[in-house]
Amino acid sequence: MSAVADYLRAVRRTHGGAPTEHSYRPDLQALLEALRPGAVVTNEPRHSRRFGAVDMRVTTGAGPEALTIGYVECKDIGAALDEIERSEQLKRYRDNLPSLVLTDYLEFRWYVEGAERDHATLRVRRTYPASLPPHRGGPCWCESGSVLLWLPVRDAV
């Protein structure tokens, strides 16, 4: 099973309860660490006077020798990322963090040096019939006969 498939199943399980934005973080942490072996994801790293309190920090390992790969700001599933992207909080993060991902756990926006570099959405859709377009109302969870898709919104710059 792939890390992305495992992640989407975990998000689906979490979504079945009464989740909050924080409920999905362990699922995302497991995905990020699976996609980059040796990476360590810290939930709620120390507050910075420069930019505030970002949700996650991704490093090459643990301890004082660890190098920061990037940061992740998490919002609840279905949050209006377009609006959040224009917020003071995101402006502060984009101005101060060299690599940042904004996510609602299904949509991911990657910023490098403040500029959006890539944007992708994870979703599940049925494999039949092949002529149907992807579900446009949000994630389409399917118990069986499904395929996991990583759908880039546009190519990386």
Q: In this structure, what CATH number is given to the domain that contains residue 98?
A: 3.90.1570
Assess contact for 149 and 122: CB atoms under 8 A: yes
- Of 82, 99, 101, the C-alpha closest to 31 is 101
Please report whether residue 154 resides in a domain: no
Domain with 50, as residue range(s), is 3-119
Rounded to the nearest 5 degrees, what angle is found at the Cα of 23, between the Cα atoms of 28 and 69?
Answer: 30
Please report whether residue 148 resides in a domain: no
> What separation, in Å, do the N-terminal and C-terminal C-alpha atoms of the chain show?
30
Rounded to the nearest 5 degrees, what angle is found at the Cα of 18, between the Cα atoms of 86 and 150?
Answer: 55
Please report whether residue 92 resides in a domain: yes
SS3 23: helix
Please report whether residue 31 resides in a domain: yes
Please report whether residue 153 resides in a domain: no
Would you tell me how many other CB atoms lie within 10 Å of the CB of residue 56?
20
Which residue is it, tokens 């009464």?
18
Q: Which residues of the chain have pLDDT under 70?
A: 1, 124-157
Tell me how far CA of residue 12 lies from CA of 30, 115, 133, 144, 149, in angstroms.
15, 31, 22, 13, 15
> What's the pTM value of the predicted model, to 2 decimals?
0.77
pLDDT, position 67: 93
Please report whether residue 141 resides in a domain: no
pLDDT, position 149: 35
Please report whether residue 125 resides in a domain: no
pLDDT, position 47: 81
Number of domains in the chain: 1
pLDDT, position 44: 87
pLDDT, position 80: 95
Please report whether residue 80 resides in a domain: yes
